Amino acid sequence: MGNSRSGALSREILEELQLSTKFTQEELCAWYQSFLKECPGGRITRQQFQGTYAKFFPDADPKAYAEHVFRSFDANSDGTLDFKEYVVALHMTTAGQPSQKLEWAFSLYDVDGNGAISKSEVLEIVMAIFKMISPEDAKHLPHDENTPEKRAEKIWGFFGKKDDDKLTEEEFIEGTLANKEILRLIQFEPQKVKERLKEKEKNP
Ligand SMILES: [Ca+2]
Ligand SMILES: [Ca+2]
């Protein structure tokens, strides 16, 4: 009760976020207000985060993917997302430069956080992505990428790595910037899936 800090963002965090994201003070303050409305405690829990994904993908199983995304956003690994982590995440995944988005993608794929990506980590994320692809959509995937194993193999092959090799962040970002095919394969694009579904409804 009567917590005066709950309604306003501290100047320190505000300035830090303005610098790191280039969002304006007005934008940040408005988001903070809506963030507090959604999360009066000022933190998003893992369960809440997964719940949001579940709403967006009612016909799929986004739990594993949501878990990985949550991990990549939870910079201090305390099991919750505070406003700062939330805004940085929003920036990296939406407004950021391509290289920033790929920095985030690297942290998503570096499941154990050791600074390098192994082939099994690629497979783990690709499996999580596949759980969000509806069986109907999966039917339309090209032959050499219609299972998680094939798709992981294809991604790994693009980087020219042996099975036991590791990918550094630099290799991952440079390779992905240079090759649109890798970029397409490493991400899940719900929007494109939805667009395709709409088209299908129009022209069954
Ligand atoms: Ca955190
Ligand atoms: Ca790793």
Q: Which ligand is in closest contact with the Cα of 46?
A: 1
Under CATH, what is the fold of the domain 98-189?
Answer: Recoverin; domain 1 (1.10.238)
Range list of β-strands (E), the chain: 43-45, 80-82, 116-118, 166-168
Task: Encode the chain (204 residues) as per-residue pLDDT tens digits.
Answer: 334 444 678 899 999 999 988 889 999 999 999 999 988 899 999 999 999 888 888 888 999 999 999 999 999 999 999 999 999 988 888 777 888 889 999 999 999 999 999 999 999 999 999 998 888 788 888 899 999 999 999 999 999 999 999 999 999 999 999 998 998 899 876 555 556 556 656 665
Q: What is the pLDDT, as a whole number, of residue 120?
A: 98
CA of 51 to the centre of ligand 2 (A): 27
Sequence-distant (6+) residues with CB within 8 A of 182 are: 155, 158, 159, 175, 176
Torsion over CA: 163, 72, 79, 20 (sign): positive
pTM: 0.84
Using the mean position of ligand 2's atoms as its centre, give its distance from the Cα of residue 169 in Å: 10
Pairing state of beta strands 166-168 and 80-82?
A: unpaired
Topology given in CATH for the domain delimited by 11-96+193-202: Recoverin; domain 1 (1.10.238)
Going from the Cα of 110 to the center of ligand 1, the distance in angstroms, rounded, reads 17
- What gap in Å lies between CA 200 and CA 90, rounded to an integer? 31
Domain ranges in the chain?
11-96+193-202, 98-189
Tell me what pLDDT residue 198 has: 64
pLDDT at 18: 92
Same topology between domain 11-96+193-202 and domain 98-189:
yes
Residue 97 CB coordination number (10 Å): 9
CA of 72 to the centre of ligand 2 (A): 12
Question: What's the pLDDT at 6?
Answer: 46
Cα–Cα distance measured from residue 111 to residue 8, given in angstroms and rounded to the nearest whole number: 34
28 Cβ contact partners less than 8 Å away, ≥ 6 residues apart: 9, 14, 17, 18, 87
